[in-house]
Structure 1
């Protein structure tokens, strides 16, 4: 059984990082950004602070046991004319230690400065020289060629294939499985690459429901991952999907890989058995054998009322959805003063308030006449307080722009309609942060 209400409750209450922690994390990242932008030395070379890794990908999970959660941020900067790679982290640590706010909180790692707060999380600040592009390695005093923005964009593309934020949910569930059971060990970047690589558009083209809900996506993805691992008894290359040519095998070893391969096969079999179970008690027991006893029935609550203004292309406008073509909707944030333009998928779909976003149709393969419909849906207390949930479906042109007015996780959808049928659609998440 899928037990989708169980999955939602389990994710909301046990796995996902709670709103209080997210707000605190965002606030501290904002403070670090302000500090670096206004610093006497780093301010001169400062370009931006950019979320990276699990923070950018929205796959951070709530700390399990005594573990902490962390956020990686890139200090994007111009190259200093005289610093060696090792000096970037040395100077960054020196800058933080000279501040009353960060003194005593800093530690230097191979590629970053680690800010250790008193509670259960820390921030890794990674110098990133954008012109190269490369991060710094202070142990070997050398550059490591990387393109973290392209990595984030690659994962966003994989997420669009799965749809509905379900790929991020699957990654969070697998991270929770790793941290709670401790039967295997794998760095998050390796897990993200291996999982992302088995997500393929042809699977959902052949079966539109292949990734259709959280349980189905989880079972199919872990089975596809297990099949790939079983085909590779020896650890295969794990290339950087950003196209830098880096092989991330350097961060693992054959013994760890072999154990991961064995455990994923075991968990894939258990998940399939739970998914196929026809008796409720058997299904619950099966899923609990994987995720533990926190995987329980949700507490019955009053049903949430749908926004009275929200519309849907199929049920409201009576336009059937038969996806035979493709389109990719991309939001591009306009330049604003010294703040540069960028595509939302390269920044984890994040943008600050009071910016303007142009929404563009890319990779559209529909030929002949067609109509374009749009939907903008706002979420969060600011939009609700302003009575601006929106959600209407309306006909428009092939592009549009929107301003970022309300903090929250919103989205824009586009629908390509041909002969009164929706033949392609795409969603661009828009996560608006306070500043």
Structure 2
């Protein structure tokens, strides 16, 4: 088995992932839009909470746009239900509010379910009114049909986030890789359908090596997907987590094409993974193209220039501690026990102090929020100890000398605050009889103002 860990990481970084400049731009524009709608727009009194990332933005599966395409962020705008308003009025009034501002005038276009804000570069934001109605359920609206559409994208995002943890986070990388292949094929399958199909193929009882790295996770999930859809004679039901079908936009011919393509990928990927090291690279290039395993021109330029600022997102930080090395606690994870580390953030004052689970927003957190992290659904028999690590990363963390990374013993809940932007994370261990038997990690992406 040849995993080519270094090659996959480089390919994701240089060819697949949205580059950091675009990520920063996306987050800054969404934060700016959020502040405008809640504080300065004529709709401010109707806005119930922060905008909520959805789709690829929330799932962290956005990839670099293919030739001729742009990239986008989808966000939900929580709004209070208004007596006498028809469903279409929410979208119409949102577009009017944006057009009334000097910042968004001439950029806001009405869509069927959203208002699209176009920017000068290859980027746009789709803003979808999101209303909790008197029945306590959440809806979006369809402007053309003037009807309510029952949706709960938060449930879908939470499911993907929770499932990704089973794969050590590799599920998200696999989805990006499959979307990269889709964009270079004849497939016409929506990202959310691909995402749900692949997420549904993750098994908590999988073999210990199935999700060990990107390559093994990719082969495992694509083979499982092939086994699942290969025998089907009709388009499958793809659950949106509230009992509705995501695949209703997938045509019979489109599904047949997907079956054929997944079958080809599964066969070729298995051959590439099982090949000897001297053959594996060429086989992966037959799948991903000649850029796989080849340093990009930007990477070569970077290597030849002055060293970039180290943000310690992928490397051990100065002073960072580890359970075995620094606390002499052996880590022997027991697959028969588990727990969930659940992060929550305080909401806006308008939302009356309700705490929102981080995984419902793709782990995006504005600056200035209170955060709580709680051990939940723990199957380890007490008594046991809980150990915590909080790690910051990014340029501001370096400049503030606040990378952290120390490990401390504590209770079942930990409180923090979102003070500065960056990709941060919190990790917890359950220690039973002096051995760490379970661990979980909660990502925290603090966005710029």
Fold shared, TM-score > 0.5 on shorter chain: yes
Deviation, structure 1 residue 368: 3.1
2:419 match: 405
Structure 1 residue 317 corresponds to structure 2 residue 314? no
Contact 1:136 1:144 in 2 (8 A): yes
Deviation, structure 1 residue 310: 1.2
Contact 2:235 2:250 in 1 (8 A): no
2:193 match: 190
1:228 match: 228
Deviation, structure 1 residue 297: 4.1
Structure 1 residue 34 corresponds to structure 2 residue 31? no
2:156 match: 151
Name the TM-score, length of structure 1 as normaliser. Answer: 0.94
The gaps in structure 2 that reach 5 residues or longer are none
Listed one character per residue, the Cα deviations across residues 131-166 of structure 1 (whole Å, up to 9, x for unaligned) are 341000112111110111111111111111111x31
Structure 1 residue 295 corresponds to structure 2 residue 292? yes
Tell me, in whole angstroms, the C-alpha distance in 2 between the residues paired with 1:133 and 1:168: 26
Structure with larger RCO (C-alpha < 8 A, sep 6+): 2
Structure 1 residue 382 corresponds to structure 2 residue 396? yes
Tell me, in whole angstroms, the C-alpha distance in 1 between the residues paired with 2:427 and 2:4: 28
Contact 1:410 1:429 in 2 (8 A): yes
Measured at CA, do residues 404 and 259 of structure 1 come closer, stay the same or move farther in structure 2, by a change above 3 Å? same
Contact 2:47 2:78 in 1 (8 A): yes
1:108 match: 110
Q: 2:387 aligns with which of 359, 367, 373?
A: 373
Between 417-426 and 337-346, the greater mean CA deviation after superposition:
337-346
Tell me, in whole angstroms, the C-alpha distance in 2 between the residues paired with 1:196 and 1:377: 27
The gaps in structure 1 that reach 5 residues or longer are none
Structure 1 residue 328 corresponds to structure 2 residue 340? yes
Listed one character per residue, the Cα deviations across residues 2-53 of structure 1 (whole Å, up to 9, x for unaligned) are 1111111111111111111111111211222222223554111102211111
Tell me, in whole angstroms, the C-alpha distance in 1 between the residues paired with 2:124 and 2:360: 23
How many aligned positions are there? Answer: 427
Measured at CA, do residues 40 and 176 of structure 1 come closer, stay the same or move farther in structure 2, by a change above 3 Å? closer
Listed one character per residue, the Cα deviations across residues 347-366 of structure 1 (whole Å, up to 9, x for unaligned) are 11111122221111111011
Q: 2:376 aligns with which of 340, 359, 362?
A: 362
Deviation, structure 1 residue 246: 1.3
Tell me, in whole angstroms, the C-alpha distance in 1 between the residues paired with 2:37 and 2:324: 48
Listed one character per residue, the Cα deviations across residues 78-101 of structure 1 (whole Å, up to 9, x for unaligned) are 112122111221222222223332
1:342 match: 356
Measured at CA, do residues 156 and 375 of structure 1 come closer, stay the same or move farther in structure 2, by a change above 3 Å? same
Tell me, in whole angstroms, the C-alpha distance in 2 between the residues paired with 1:24 and 1:335: 23
Contact 1:5 1:297 in 2 (8 A): no
Tell me, in whole angstroms, the C-alpha distance in 2 between the residues paired with 1:90 and 1:76: 15
Structure 1 residue 258 corresponds to structure 2 residue 256? yes
Tell me, in whole angstroms, the C-alpha distance in 2 between the residues paired with 1:368 and 1:86: 53
User: Runs (4+) of structure 1 moved beyond 6 Å?
Assistant: 302-305
Listed one character per residue, the Cα deviations across residues 240-276 of structure 1 (whole Å, up to 9, x for unaligned) are 12x2x21123211111011101101101111111111
Structure 1 residue 70 corresponds to structure 2 residue 84? no
1:15 match: 16
Tell me, in whole angstroms, the C-alpha distance in 2 between the residues paired with 1:51 and 1:233: 35
Q: 2:140 aligns with which of 135, 138, 141?
A: 135
Deviation, structure 1 residue 58: 0.7
Structure 1 residue 200 corresponds to structure 2 residue 203? yes
Name the TM-score, length of structure 2 as normaliser. Answer: 0.91
Deviation, structure 1 residue 215: 1.0
Between 328-337 and 1-10, the greater mean CA deviation after superposition:
328-337
Listed one character per residue, the Cα deviations across residues 365-410 of structure 1 (whole Å, up to 9, x for unaligned) are 1113211111111110111111111112221122111111221111
Structure 1 residue 306 corresponds to structure 2 residue 309? no
Tell me, in whole angstroms, the C-alpha distance in 2 between the residues paired with 1:116 and 1:291: 31
